[in-house]
Chain A
Amino acid sequence: MKNIVIGQYAPGKGFFYRLDPRTKIITVVFLMVAVFLLESILQVSIALFVTLFLMIIGKISIGRVAKGLRPLFVLLLFTFSFQIFLNREGALLLSQPMNIGLYSLLGVLVLTVLWRLLARFKKFKGLLFLFWLAGVYALFAYLPAIGPIFKVFDFEIYESGVVTSIFVVVRLLIVISLSTVLTLTTKPTDLTQGLESLLRPLKRLGVNSDDFALIISISLRYIPTILDEANKIMLAQASRGADFNEGKLVEKVKQIVSLLIPMFIIAFKRSEDLADAMESRNFVPGKPRTRIHELSFGMTDLVTAIFTVLVFAGAIVLRVLP
């Protein structure tokens, strides 16, 4: 639990690292909107290629971005299957009668157990899952209709289903990649400072973006400390027999309380200490301060802004054109 890295920031050199965080935030937001304005599969495919191209010229490892996508794999898969079965227009591409019967269900059960057992060999997790999926399909589709059959239905895929699902997934991929590029190339502090600077107009509405940015950066700084501490408290209570994995519900509640109360008490003590430390170093809330981090809008930012405007305008034109 030591040295937990916050966000996905990976130090590096390249085009995106040199950009002002404000430019990056605005660019990413605009590009995301632009992607949502696109309508055809051709357009999003081009957009995907442009995104990939940008990553290559920005010297961002596509593997790293893909790694960032991994936790969202389930979401993508869900979206994909949802779209593929929901859209039932256009040409019928596949129609396969499926039998759900005793033997096929038993087969699925055996397959699932096999899959879970094999999944312990972590290397081929994704591949195994695909095999499992194919196996389930094969069992329902091709197992002879013997034994009791509970239900027969037609497994159908239409053209629109395939098109829409690819469209939606590619669009999602672009959006996620863009935000990954942002967090990958921007330090959390720069990100908060960029946000603060962009939120500055809100000052007129009484929101102090300065203090807001400080709150965020201090929170970021203490997340690893607090996680480390939570882990130690959990171990300390586990030493007193509080097993967070087992136990009845009532016991579980008590065990969680035994974790939360020390965490809160330590956090209160810490905030007192921190307030003292900040005050003793002459921090006065709301008072203007200079900054060691300075944002500077340079030539690269200008070029990026122009590019963004062009892309955004292009997307609108495509949308408006018949």
Chain B
Amino acid sequence: MAIRFRQVSYAYPGYGLGNYDAIKNITLDIAAKGEFIALVGQTGSGKSTLAQHMNALIFPTEGTVEIFGKIVGPKRDRTIKYNELRRKVGLVFQFPEYQLFEETVEKDIMFGPMNFGVPEEAARKMAWTALDLVGLGPTYLKRNPLNLSGGEKKRVSIAGILAMEPQILVLDEPTSGLDPRGKATMMDLFKSIREATGKTIVVITHDMDLVYEYMDRVLVLDKGTLAFDGTPDELFRKPNLETLHLDYPATIRVLSAVAKDLGIAVDIYQKDVAAAVSAIQKAVRP
């Protein structure tokens, strides 16, 4: 396992555990390869706090996080190069405005690799690869990142992390503020990155439709505790998701209305529209 949380708690200075964005007694493992994980929960449930532990940006108040063999505890350990951990686990923040600052897209993407001592020419190559990976062509290289559209900025900020060649990619609400089409393209992008590189990808999101359709593991945070860790199928088959402040995906809601109104036996657990359609067809066709 690449990342192991062991009884991790974190409280913001001056505020006790159980307060806004704190996390409590979290134990979980994340593999280095092939996982596609959704991290969900209400605002203030501690999602971002948990994510920032994954690359040792913040240290637990209690417990330990093992990241690629290095054990991160409450105290700074002088023998650990924390920067190296941040290279292995790339964290993309919610707002690209937090990180874009260079005058060209190319330079901005090179910032990460060069901080890790990659020579300029090699960093440039990494930037090109990363930009290609997020689906923006070489015409973007010399453009000013600040003049791009919201969706393009997000892609450039993701490329800025991908260029560091992290083994795990963590993204904080990458689809927020995008229109439905933008959301779907963003998720397709992660899917393609995953297929191309095999990296584990962790995505913080509020959108259950995306979770159900794309992800293969969900972590649910509720008031700072890990309330669920399993597959989306297991999660959405649970009754009373409202207690976790979560919605059911649209397909499940529609299909259960159909099953109830028509009194027919439909398998309501379908991940997307196409599957929902064939489930209905299966139920209604003689």
Question: Are chains A and B touching in the complex at the 8 Å CB cutoff?
Answer: yes
Q: Interface of A with B (CB < 8 Å)?
A: 1-3, 229, 232-233, 235-243, 246, 251, 257-258, 261-262, 265-266, 269
Docked-complex contact A232 and B21, CB < 8 angstroms: no
Docked-complex contact A241 and B57, CB < 8 angstroms: no
List 8 A–B pairs whose Cβ atoms lie within 8 Å, in order of A's numbering. Answer: A2-B15, A2-B21, A229-B98, A235-B57, A240-B115, A241-B87, A242-B115, A243-B115
Docked-complex contact B99 and A237, CB < 8 angstroms: yes
Given contacts A258-B101, A262-B98, A262-B99, are A239 and B55 in contact (CB under 8 A)? yes
Bound complex: CA A261 to CA B98 (Å): 9
Bound complex: CA A251 to CA B116 (Å): 11
Apart from the given pairs A239-B57, A241-B116, 19 other A-B contacts in the complex at a CB distance below 8 Å: A2-B12, A2-B15, A2-B20, A3-B15, A233-B98, A235-B52, A235-B57, A236-B99, A238-B57, A239-B93, A240-B112, A241-B83, A241-B87, A241-B112, A243-B83, A262-B100, A262-B101, A265-B101, A266-B98
> CB of B111 within 8 A of chain A?
yes
Bound complex: CA A203 to CA B87 (Å): 57
Looking at the complex, which one of B82, B86, B91, B97 makes contact with A265 (CB distance below 8 Å)? B97
> CB of B60 within 8 A of chain A?
no
Looking at the complex, which one of A229, A239, A242 makes contact with B91 (CB distance below 8 Å)? A239
| A119 → chain B closest CB, angstroms | 16
| A224 → chain B closest CB, angstroms | 13
Given contacts A2-B12, A2-B21, are A239 and B161 in contact (CB under 8 A)? yes
> CB of B164 within 8 A of chain A?
yes
Docked-complex contact A258 and B98, CB < 8 angstroms: no
Looking at the complex, which one of B58, B99, B101, B112 makes contact with A257 (CB distance below 8 Å)? B101
Given contacts A257-B101, A262-B99, are A240 and B164 in contact (CB under 8 A)? yes
Give the residue name and chain of the B residue nearest to A243 (CB). B83
Docked-complex contact A261 and B101, CB < 8 angstroms: yes
Given contacts A2-B21, A239-B161, A258-B111, are A233 and B12 in contact (CB under 8 A)? no
Docked-complex contact B98 and A241, CB < 8 angstroms: no
Q: Interface of B with A (CB < 8 Å)?
A: 12, 14-15, 20-21, 52, 55, 57-58, 82-83, 86-87, 90-93, 97-101, 111-112, 115-116, 146, 160-161, 164
| B113 → chain A closest CB, angstroms | 8
Looking at the complex, which one of B20, B90, B100 makes contact with A239 (CB distance below 8 Å)? B90
Residues of B within 8 A of A232 (CB): 93, 98
Looking at the complex, which one of B12, B14, B52, B160 makes contact with A240 (CB distance below 8 Å)? B160
Residues of B within 8 A of A266 (CB): 97-98
| B251 → chain A closest CB, angstroms | 35
Given contacts A235-B57, A235-B93, A241-B86, are A265 and B160 in contact (CB under 8 A)? no
Residues of A within 8 A of B87 (CB): 241
Residues of A within 8 A of B99 (CB): 233, 236-237, 239-240, 258, 262
**B21, B90, B93, B115 interface centre (most CB from chain A within 10 Å):** B115
Bound complex: CA A206 to CA B99 (Å): 42
Bound complex: CA A258 to CA B55 (Å): 20
Residues of A within 8 A of B97 (CB): 262, 265-266, 269
| B147 → chain A closest CB, angstroms | 11
Bound complex: CA A262 to CA B101 (Å): 6
| A230 → chain B closest CB, angstroms | 10
Residues of B within 8 A of A246 (CB): 83
| A225 → chain B closest CB, angstroms | 13
Given contacts A1-B12, A235-B93, are A240 and B101 in contact (CB under 8 A)? no
| B85 → chain A closest CB, angstroms | 10
Residues of A within 8 A of B100 (CB): 262
| A245 → chain B closest CB, angstroms | 9
Bound complex: CA A131 to CA B90 (Å): 48
Bound complex: CA A240 to CA B160 (Å): 8
Give the residue name and chain of the A residue nearest to B163 (CB). A240
Bound complex: CA A240 to CA B159 (Å): 11
| A233 → chain B closest CB, angstroms | 5
Residues of B within 8 A of A2 (CB): 12, 15, 20-21
| B216 → chain A closest CB, angstroms | 25
| A163 → chain B closest CB, angstroms | 42
Give the residue name and chain of the B residue nearest to A251 (CB). B115
| A276 → chain B closest CB, angstroms | 18
Bound complex: CA A232 to CA B57 (Å): 10
Residues of A within 8 A of B90 (CB): 239
Bound complex: CA A261 to CA B12 (Å): 26
